[in-house]
């Protein structure tokens, strides 16, 4: 493991050679991706650095024009479309979502308050991360068969667990619903709306909400954490949450607008997305419309990341310094590219250590039976522990089932993602709860029968 020492220059960023070394280390030594492209923009213009290939069985090098799924970075574009439409007077930020849905849809209310467009854009609507009736036929493409009628049915029956606006809870459902409502108001599909209002003015001609024919020849293969090819995702109903694909070159065009280096009719809309602040959590981060805002003053970073079944993405910029970074990977490892983006924006942010190699131990098969059950992390996001062959597997709501292996009698690790589970047991060895360890966060959950 080599230690990265940032070579900061007057351009703010390390040299292209240093960035390429970081990418080579991540891919060739740590085996955390097959292809990564980084785009930067700062005082000395735009730079795009790449390393690796299109896929495990496709040796074509990735470059500035390679297509990647950008996952939840799509939410930034959805929020920007909201601000743009609000600027035209087509919608109001405080408009109830119900105004833009059929009268047959009964949006949930609480204490006389209705969910508004701004509640969706700031993840404070009290809607869950995913709809409870998301039950994909193909867990490798989990949103593909989720219909508008299913979303309407879930919303009409859902009871909010807390007051609207009282708490931040990241919601793919909420942002997907926002994109759907805006599309209905504009009379356009989500892809057409974003293309007309955002992509065309910024000359982002290689960004779309589906792997269209013109991008297929440039689309890098997606891969799972074991570096094996996986399917691309389709999000027909919840497109506003994560449907977009883009290229590094297009995303640097977007960064130029974000830092004020490219004039566009979206400047007022961007200012709107950055001016709305609601607290996210204990770390001190805040949310604008769609953005996460970390820090303040010259050190403030505005960012969002994204992940699908086969890709990881990071987009961030520093408004005070006029610099921005995009990092795109064609592999869905947990270490991803967030740390690379943050490190390039501010060399004081360290690069992540690669996951340590974990060794499974052998347990009495009867031990596994004591852990089987459902463990809700939230009312609508449940970890289901089931038997899997001679061991255990975990399946989160709306996600594929993943094998977990024991490191000790109560500590397990996932085989497909960088996540661990520790079971809390009683005097009989029966699990009464668990803690999910992932992305530096510990999330406890009690077993439902407890």
At 379 the pLDDT is: 78
Question: Is residue 192 within a helix (H) or strand (E), and if so which, with residue range?
Answer: helix 190-194
* Residue boundaries of the structural domains of the chain: 68-345, 365-446
* Predicted pLDDT at 4: 43
pLDDT tens for 60-112 read: 999 999 999 999 999 999 999 999 999 999 999 999 999 999 999 999 999 99
Asked if pLDDT for residue 282 goes beyond 70, the answer is no
Report residue 359 as tokens. Answer: 């060794």
pLDDT tens-digit readout, 206-262: 999 998 887 889 999 999 988 999 999 999 999 999 999 999 999 999 999 999 998
- Rounded to the nearest integer, the mean pLDDT of the chain is 92
* Phi and psi torsions of 23, nearest 5°: -65, -40
Average pLDDT (408-419) is: 85
Q: Residue 361: count other Cβ atoms within 10 Å of its Cβ.
A: 10
CA 425 to chain centre: 33
Long-range contacts from 261-268, C-beta under 8 angstroms, 24+ separation: 261/41, 261/322, 262/202, 264/201, 264/202, 265/201, 266/80, 266/84, 266/198, 266/201, 266/202, 268/83, 268/87
> Percent of the chain, pLDDT > 90?
79
Record the tokens describing residue 36, joined without a space.
């990564």
For residues 23 and 52, give the distance between their C-alpha atoms in angstroms, rounded to a whole number: 8
> Which contiguous run of DSSP H or E holds residue 275?
helix 267-275
Q: Which of 77, 50, 20, 52 is nearest to 331 (CA)?
A: 52
Determine the pLDDT at residue 3.
Answer: 41
Domain 365-446 has CATH 2.40.128: yes
Query: Does the pLDDT at position 125 exceed 90?
Result: yes
pLDDT at 212: 83
Q: Kindly report, residue by residue over 379-407, the tens digit of the pLDDT.
A: 778 999 999 888 999 998 877 788 999 99
Q: What strands lie across the sheet with 58-61, from one edge to the other? A: 58-61, 45-55, 35-42, 323-329, 312-318, 301-307, 292-294, 286-287, 278-279
Please answer whether residues 34 and 227 qualify as being in contact, where contact means their C-beta atoms are separated by less than 8 angstroms: yes
CB neighbours of residue 333 within 10 Å: 25
Which range (22-36, 141-155, 431-445) has the least confidence?
431-445
User: Locate tokens 């970075």: which residue?
Assistant: 73
C-alpha distances out from residue 327 to 49, 116, 214, 295, Å: 10, 32, 22, 21
**Chain segment 320-331, per-residue pLDDT in tens:** 999 999 999 999
| Mean pLDDT of the region 16-25 | 97
Q: What percent of the chain has pLDDT over 70?
A: 96
Decide if pLDDT at 2 tops 50.
no
Structure tokens at 256: 């130029």
> Which residues are within 8 A (CB) of 295 and not within 5 positions of it... i.e. 6 or more apart?
301
The residue whose two tokens read 């036929």 is 137
Q: What is the pLDDT of residue 37?
A: 98
| pLDDT 10s digits, 368-381 | 999 999 999 887 78
Class of the CATH-defined domain 68-345: alpha beta
Backbone angles phi, psi at 296, to 5 degrees: -155, 170
The C-alpha atoms of residue 332 and residue 335 are separated, in whole angstroms, by 9
Structure tokens at 231: 């399917």
């Amino acid at each position: 493991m080599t230690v990265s020492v940032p070579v900061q220059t007057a351009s703010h960023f390390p040299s292209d050679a240093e960035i390429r070394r970081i990418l080579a280390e991540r891919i060739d030594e740590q085996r955390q991706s097959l292809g990564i492209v980084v785009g930067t923009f700062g005082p000395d213009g735009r730079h795009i650095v790449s390393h690796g290939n299109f896929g495990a069985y496709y040796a074509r090098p990735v470059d500035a024009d390679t297509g990647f799924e950008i996952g939840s970075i799509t939410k930034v574009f959805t929020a920007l479309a909201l601000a743009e439409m609000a600027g035209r007077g087509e919608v109001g930020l405080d408009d109830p979502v119900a105004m833009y849905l059929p009268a047959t849809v009964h949006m949930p209310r609480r204490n006389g308050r209705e969910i508004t467009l701004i509640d969706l854009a700031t993840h404070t609507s009290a809607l869950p991360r995913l709809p409870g009736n998301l039950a994909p036929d193909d867990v490798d493409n989990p949103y593909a068969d989720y219909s508008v009628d299913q979303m309407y049915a879930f919303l009409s029956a859902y009871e909010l667990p807390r007051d609207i606006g009282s708490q931040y809870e990241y919601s793919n459902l909420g942002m997907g619903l926002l994109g759907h409502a805006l599309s209905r108001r504009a009379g356009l599909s989500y892809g057409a709306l974003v293309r007309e209002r955002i992509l065309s003015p910024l000359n982002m001609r290689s960004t779309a909400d589906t792997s269209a024919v013109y991008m297929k020849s440039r689309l890098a293969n997606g891969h799972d954490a074991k570096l094996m090819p996986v399917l691309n995702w389709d999000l027909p109903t919840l497109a506003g949450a994560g449907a977009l694909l883009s290229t590094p070159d297009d995303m640097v065009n977007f960064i130029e607008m974000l830092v004020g280096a490219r004039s566009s009719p979206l400047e007022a809309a961007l200012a709107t997305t950055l001016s709305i602040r609601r607290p996210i959590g204990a770390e001190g981060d805040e949310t604008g419309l769609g953005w996460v805002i970390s820090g303040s003053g010259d050190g403030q970073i505005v960012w969002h990341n994204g992940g699908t079944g086969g890709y990881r993405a990071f987009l961030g910029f520093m408004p005070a310094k006029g610099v921005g970074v995009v990092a795109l990977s064609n592999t869905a490892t947990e270490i991803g590219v967030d740390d690379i983006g943050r490190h390039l924006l501010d060399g004081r942010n360290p690069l992540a250590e690669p996951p340590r190699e974990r060794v499974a131990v052998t347990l009495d098969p009867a031990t596994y039976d004591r852990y089987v059950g459902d463990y809700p992390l939230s009312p609508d996001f449940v970890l289901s522990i089931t038997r899997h062959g001679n061991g255990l597997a975990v399946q989160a709501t709306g996600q594929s089932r993943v094998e977990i292996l024991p490191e000790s009698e109560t500590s397990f690790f996932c085989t497909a993602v960088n996540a661990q589970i520790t079971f809390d047991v009683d005097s009989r060895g029966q699990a009464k709860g668990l803690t999910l360890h992932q992305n530096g966060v510990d999330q406890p959950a009690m077993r439902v029968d407890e």
